[in-house]
Amino acid sequence: MKMIQNLSLLFVFCFYCLPIVIQGSDQHERKPYIVYMGEMPMGRTYAIKEHHLNLLEAVTGSQKIARQIRIHSYGKSFNGFVARLLPREAKKLRGEDNVISVFPNTHNKLHTTRSWDYLGMTLNVNRRLNIESNTIVGVLDTGISLDCPSFNDKGFGPPPPRWKGKCVTGANFSGCNNKVIGAKYFYLEQPVIENASPVDEDGHGTHTSSTAAGVPVAGASVDGIGRGTARGGVPSARIAMYKVCWESGCSDMDMLAAFDEAIADGVNLISVSIGGPPRDFFSDPIAIGSFHAMRRGILTSCSAGNDGPDLNSVENVAPWIMTVAASSIDREYATMVALGDGKNATGVSINTFTPENKMYPLISGALAANHSRDDYGNASSCDTGTLSKEMVMGRIVYCLGQGNQDWTIKDLGGAGTIVGLDERADFGSITIIPGSYVEANTVGKQIDLYINNTKDPVAIIYKSISTRTPAPRIISFSSRGPQSIANNILKPDLAAPGADILAGFSNLATLTGNPQDPRHNVFNILSGTSMACPHATAAAAYVKSFRPGWSPAAIKSALMTTATPMSIKDNSAELGSGAGQINPLSAIHPGLLYDMNMNSYIAYLCKEGYTNTNIDILIGSKGFNCSTIVPPPQSTDGINYPSMHIRILSPNSTISAIFYRSVTNVGQANSTYKAIVTAPKGLSIEVVPDILQFSRLRQELSFKVVLKGPPMPKEISILSASIEWNDSRHSVRSPILVYKESDDFMK
């Protein structure tokens, strides 16, 4: 126990007490590796750090080197350490007893309000305030800025008694309050960052934290845009910030350190708007950390990633994680452009600039080309280096293409940018000079024609206004399934608002994040699955405040089975939306739960081929035997998941799958649920039994879902179906999705 406390002191006040002075040529080849050793060893007083040093001594042959290369020992919530290793030492450690995995440290990236009203959670919605105010939301992110009024602690009592976390102070961060009750930072990289502190210099962490649990702030806006009351989903809950992201990204070793401490500190939920390419569960810090969190009853909510609309792009796919896609709300930011010929064109962006009362000269990139630089790129797209400064100066420039032309035009002294996109933008970007994004084929073409056919074309770009728009839709950038780590588990799980979200921001950052941008504000409008994740975290916290006894899996099940199915513009269907848009109010009364506990996940891991020995290490047991608990062999996914998914790997295979499920009654004691199946042509679905008769609460009944069908036609890769248990009071809906790999998948 003493050892562990010392470790934490070392951690907080002195990341690099041990100078790394390693002799010889090995020095440059050593890289940080994470050695993951599962559950904390139980039943003996265990000097964790000594044990780690012994292991290192065994592979390096030197006690001195062992001391020099060890960077950090985990040991509050799980066992493991970080050390600078040579590849051969890493290999040797993989073979050691008690080691589950050894993997190199890599960097993950951030997945960069009216939204709560839109989800039905109005300002005065029914709440369990006494429980909500004892709920602690742990956020792994870029830090937090207490200058943001969303974290005002007026009216908050002291932290809940079980809270064991700390508040670390440092540069620009003088301490916590009764709203933000904990703040720590994690930076195991070398050399050490001067003046490190939990402060948010990026804005992302302040934004996600305030989306989850910020207090209501009336009159919040970005220079008047989006004005309204900004607030989090659980405004009475407490926040604990674990800063793991720095300019270099968010490293595996820092994220694991944050999970290690957050779990031990006593958070109730963990929100992680960070990700990286999917990896094997136990070589992935978020999968490892969230597994140990789940064991202790803590649900981890993660963003799905921003690499959509491509398929196979979803991240954070472990079954014990709640993986959140980004949807739109019914508000967007319109930026109007008026042309000299009296026509108006509407685009999408977040343009904070109010124009002077005059028209500005207008030109297109194609006409502003510097022809002595034609080989530098594409002037129509306003590529950097292709335009003539003379032609751009003082003008609004129309550019084709994808993105950040406003910066190029700004550098050349332009007055504004109109960007023609292939498709209409489904979220707004903040522009550095007046700017609007229009659809190239319609509005854009008109603007270009006007420019080509007019002697002195002029235009004006107005400040953005908020408008209503049909919703929800899955946003184009939101990452899509299928995933390949847990083949037959549908990810993302569900969707939450992640476009044009107005929430708290850090005064130390600029609105666009670029240091040349002079604009600072304590609110900002951002888009990303990063913004969707804290919405789902807060929804989970809200459900938990009414149902404190529910497991993480039960809360996730409630949010999934009560979600609103969504239509999706491309044909990725539930591979984009999962079960659909969250419905926090309905999730309190789901009727039935697809519950899972630790053993359910262990059974699943057995099926996925994890060995008895690895499972022993993982959960800190002895003599665990997979063959005693494996579910029926025909089961397609081997887990009681609230959605059903099969990936057909060979294009000519017939469809054949069987899902064993059990549901727990949390509605009325006496209730009869009927299965209502919706299936497309080419897929037959049988539910056995198709009536479930409950006579008491907490009763668990089992059923199976059998899928059959001929080989799917060549041109079809997705069959979307659903099963809904309905007792006329509740509708407990699960998506069923068949995905066929394309022909070249096998090659």
Q: What is the distance between the terminal CA atoms of the chain, rounded to a whole angstrom?
A: 54
Q: Does 730 bind ligand NAG (CB under 6 A)?
A: yes
Q: Do residues 178 and 203 touch, judged by C-beta distance below 8 A?
A: no
What residues pair up with 719 in beta bridges, in sequence order? 738
122, 670, 693, 742: which one binds ligand NAG (CB under 6 A): 670
Number of alpha carbons in the 13 Å side-chain half-sphere of residue 334: 13
6, 174, 484, 652: which one binds ligand NAG (CB under 6 A): 652
CA distance 547 to 618: 29
Q: For residue 564, what are the contacts with CB-CB under 8 A and spacing of at least 6?
A: 472, 580, 581, 583
User: Angle of helix 48-60 relative to helix 2-13, nearest 10 degrees?
Assistant: 80
141 in catalytic set: yes
CA distance 83 to 99: 14
CB nearer ligand NAG, residue 251 or residue 386: 386
In the complex, minimum distance from the CB of residue 389 to ligand NAG, in angstroms, rounded to a whole number = 4
In the complex, minimum distance from the CB of residue 498 to ligand NAG, in angstroms, rounded to a whole number = 26
CB nearer ligand NAG, residue 109 or residue 373: 373
In the complex, minimum distance from the CB of residue 343 to ligand NAG, in angstroms, rounded to a whole number = 6
Q: Does 145 bind ligand NAG (CB under 6 A)?
A: no
Q: Within 166-205, which residues bind ligand NAG (CB under 6 A)?
A: 171-172, 195
248, 452, 571, 611: which one binds ligand NAG (CB under 6 A): 452
CA distance 179 to 729: 38
For residue 222 the two structure tokens come to 């970005």
**How many positions of this chain bind ligand NAG (CB under 6 A)?**
41
284, 307, 426, 448: which one binds ligand NAG (CB under 6 A): 448
Q: Does 45 bind ligand NAG (CB under 6 A)?
A: no
The 3-state secondary structure of 493-517 reads CEEEECCCEEEECCCCCCCCCCCCC
Helix (H, G, I), strand (E, B) or coil at 681: coil
Q: Does 31 bind ligand NAG (CB under 6 A)?
A: no
- Of the residues 328, 530, 557, 572, only one is catalytic, namely 530
Helix (H, G, I), strand (E, B) or coil at 461: strand
371 in catalytic set: no
CB nearer ligand NAG, residue 130 or residue 357: 357
- Neighbour count for residue 97 (Cβ, 10 Å): 8
Judged on CB neighbours under 10 Å (0-12, 13-18, 19+), 88 is exposed
625, 634, 656, 693: which one binds ligand NAG (CB under 6 A): 625
Judged on CB neighbours under 10 Å (0-12, 13-18, 19+), 378 is middle
Q: Does 372 bind ligand NAG (CB under 6 A)?
A: yes
97, 609, 627, 681: which one binds ligand NAG (CB under 6 A): 627
- Of the residues 72, 204, 207, 730, only one is catalytic, namely 204
In the complex, minimum distance from the CB of residue 711 to ligand NAG, in angstroms, rounded to a whole number = 8
254 in catalytic set: no
Q: Within 61-90, which residues bind ligand NAG (CB under 6 A)?
A: none
18, 22, 676, 677: which one binds ligand NAG (CB under 6 A): 676
Nearest to 471 by CA among 329, 650, 298, 336: 329
CA distance 230 to 220: 6
Q: Within 335-354, which residues bind ligand NAG (CB under 6 A)?
A: 338, 342-344
CA distance 522 to 506: 5
Q: Does 229 bind ligand NAG (CB under 6 A)?
A: no
In the complex, minimum distance from the CB of residue 211 to ligand NAG, in angstroms, rounded to a whole number = 24
In the complex, minimum distance from the CB of residue 730 to ligand NAG, in angstroms, rounded to a whole number = 5
What residues pair up with 738 in beta bridges, in sequence order? 646, 719
**Active-site annotation, residues:** 141, 204, 530
Contact residues: ligand NAG, CB under 6 A: 171-172, 195, 338, 342-344, 366-367, 370, 372-373, 378, 380-381, 388-390, 400-401, 445, 448-449, 452, 508, 625, 627-628, 650-652, 669-670, 676, 695, 726, 728-731, 746
